[in-house]
Amino acid sequence: MGMIFSLVAVIFLAAIAFMGAKLNLFGLFGVAIPYLAVLVFIAGFIRKVIKWGQSPVPFHIPTTCGQQKSLPWIKQSKLDNPSTTLGIIGRMALEVLLFRSLFRNLKTHRTDGGPVYGSNKWLWLGGLAFHVTFFVVFIRHLRFFTEPVPAWVNTLDVVDGFVQVGVPHMLITGVVLLAAATYLLLRRIFNPQVKYISLPADYFPLFLIIGIAVSGILMRYFIKVDIIKVKELTMGLATFKTTVPDGIGGIFFIHLFLISVLFAYFPFSKLMHLGGVFMSPTRNLANNSREVRHINPWNPKVKLHTYEEYEDEFREVMKSEGLPVEKE
């Protein structure tokens, strides 16, 4: 249900952009909406992160996934159970860059010879491929927003097209991105557990990203657009001297509009895990809570049952058993 809804929503959005291009609403779809989307993205992102920041981390609750630091002769697991800032940086780097936790994913299989333990790395692989390629694709697009194009962007493009297949040469990341996003989608459709937990908010961004990737790939290889005009438009956006060259082609406006929707949708959705992963208190705290005192800013004043009250209640029986008391 949620899937159909999301699919229809994305198709509808693409149709809007296409109609916009047909109606020559280039100013709206080429300038106004992208600006608005970036504005909403940045403002919304900051607002959300600050909202998180306004809540303190009252307690020190890292999830420890390895041996703690204790006696000097016991080998500490410094990355899975860090006790120093360096360790945390390592743990967070592993988490953010290599998806350490997903790497642990388990699935065990029954064979005739008994159970065989195996890790289940497909989600890790799919997730990592998706995120890494998305990032590279994002960076690659800087060639539309810089003039002259920095050498490192060009280099990235060359490396990405390393296999030199096809004309214009195929960029690996684009293909992998589409494949990985499709895998993540199929998983939601065919894995009964994941299907059960999926909400429209899970399908929508996937369809949106698939739509963006497909329109981008179409534009590069099949339905050509005038790339010089595209860059004229994007540089106009980047320099705040907007121009709207005509004759770019509807597919570009579909691409651009879907990206705008993704940007604007970002801060209000689960996509905020981009910022959230850095702030997760079960990951970004050192397991040194017995070594260094962690402060709770709202440490509450609570009613206690003091020893005096306790002794008052039980003094006689304590004395009868010979237990020492404060007041005779």
Partner 1 sequence: MYNGGKIIAGLIIFIALVTFPFYTNMGKTIEKPADPTAAADELHIGNVPIGQMRAEHMMILDKWRDEVVRGGERFITFDGDQYEKSIQNGCLACHSKQDFCGKCHNFAGVNPYCWNCHYSSEEDQL
Partner 2 sequence: MRIGLLLSEKKHEIAKTWFDLIVETYPQDTANFLKTQKNRFGNPVGFTISEGIDAILGELSGELDLARVSPYLDNIIRIRAIQDFTPSQAVGFIFLLKKVIWEALASEIRKNQLFDELLVIESQIDQLANVSFDMYIACREKIYKLRANELRNRTSRILKMSNMFKDTEAEEKDTAGF
Partner 3 sequence: MAIKPKPNELLSGINYKPPLKQWMDEPVEFKKGYYCYGAKPKNLEYIGFPNGREWNSSEQDWKLVDNWKEIFLEGMENLLKKFRSFRLFMDICVRCGACADKCHFFIGTGDPKNMPVLRAELLRSIYRRYFTVAGKLGKIAGARDLTEDVFKEIWYYYYQCTECRRCSVFCPYGIDQAEITMMGRELINLLGCCTDWISGPLANCYRTGNHLGLQPHTIKSNFDYMLDDLEEHTGVRVEPTFNRKGAEILFVTPSADFFAEPGVFTCMGYLLLFHYLGLDYTWSTYASEGGNFGLFTSNEMMKRLNSKIYAESKRLGVKWILGGECGHMWRVLHQYMDTMNGPADHLEAPVSPITGTRFDNAKSTRMVHIAEFTADLIKNGKLKFDPSRNDNLNVTFHDSCNTSRGMGIFEEPRYIINSVCNHFHEMPDNTIRENTFCCGSGSGLNAGEIEELRMLGGLPRAHAVKYVKEKHGVNMLSCICAIDRAVLPPMIDYWMPDVGVCGVHELVGNALIIPGEKERENNLRGEPLPGMEEKGEEE
Min separation Cβ 182 and partner 1, Å: 27
Q: What is the largest CA-CA distance in the chain?
A: 99
DSSP state of 220: I
186: Cβ contacts below 8 Å, ≥ 6 apart: none
51 binds partner 3, rule: CB under 8 A: yes
107 binds partner 2, rule: CB under 8 A: yes
Residue 193 vs 306, nearer CB to partner 2: 193
Residue 50 vs 167, nearer CB to partner 3: 50
Residue 141 vs 270, nearer CB to partner 3: 270
Residue 114 vs 322, nearer CB to partner 2: 114
Site string for partner 3, 176-195 (x = CB under 8 A): -----------x---x-xx-
Min separation Cβ 62 and partner 3, Å: 8
The span of 97-105, 106-114, 247-255, 280-288 binding partner 2 (CB under 8 A) equals 106-114
Between CA 117 and CA 68 the distance in angstroms is 26
* Contacting residues toward partner 1, per CB under 8 A: 38, 41-42, 45-46, 49-50, 52-57, 142-149, 153-154, 157-158, 164, 167-169, 224, 226-229, 231-232, 235-241, 275, 278-279, 297
Contacting residue, 110, 241, 293, 327, with partner 3 by CB under 8 A? 293
110 binds partner 3, rule: CB under 8 A: no
Our CA angle for 158, 219, 10, nearest 5°, is 120
Q: Residue 180: phi, psi to the nearest 5?
A: -65, -40
Between CA 54 and CA 62 the distance in angstroms is 20
Residue 104 vs 224, nearer CB to partner 3: 104
Give the tokens for residue 28: 């709206």
Between CA 60 and CA 293 the distance in angstroms is 9
Give the residue carrying structure tokens 């420890």: 64
The answer to whether 171 touches 156, Cβ cutoff 8 Å, is no
Between CA 210 and CA 206 the distance in angstroms is 6
Min separation Cβ 207 and partner 1, Å: 24
50 binds partner 3, rule: CB under 8 A: no
The listed partner (partner 1, partner 3, partner 2, none) that binds 222, CB under 5 to 8 Å by sort, is: none
Contacting residue, 190, 196, 222, 240, with partner 3 by CB under 8 A? 196
115 binds partner 2, rule: CB under 8 A: yes
Between CA 243 and CA 209 the distance in angstroms is 27
224 binds partner 2, rule: CB under 8 A: no
The answer to whether 91 touches 84, Cβ cutoff 8 Å, is no
Between CA 106 and CA 211 the distance in angstroms is 31
Between CA 259 and CA 19 the distance in angstroms is 17
Instruction: Please list every residue from 181 through 220 that binds partner 2, using CB under 8 A.
Output: 191-193, 196
85 binds partner 3, rule: CB under 8 A: no
174: Cβ contacts below 8 Å, ≥ 6 apart: 133, 137, 213, 216, 217, 220
The listed partner (partner 1, partner 3, partner 2, none) that binds 296, CB under 5 to 8 Å by sort, is: partner 3
Pick from 222, 215, 224, 225: which is nearest to 178 by CA?
A: 215
Pick from 76, 75, 100: which is nearest to 90 by CA?
A: 100
The span of 8-16, 34-42, 100-108, 224-232 binding partner 2 (CB under 8 A) equals 100-108
The listed partner (partner 3, partner 1, partner 2, none) that binds 110, CB under 5 to 8 Å by sort, is: partner 2
Q: Which residues bind partner 2 (CB under 8 A)?
A: 106-110, 114-115, 191-193, 196
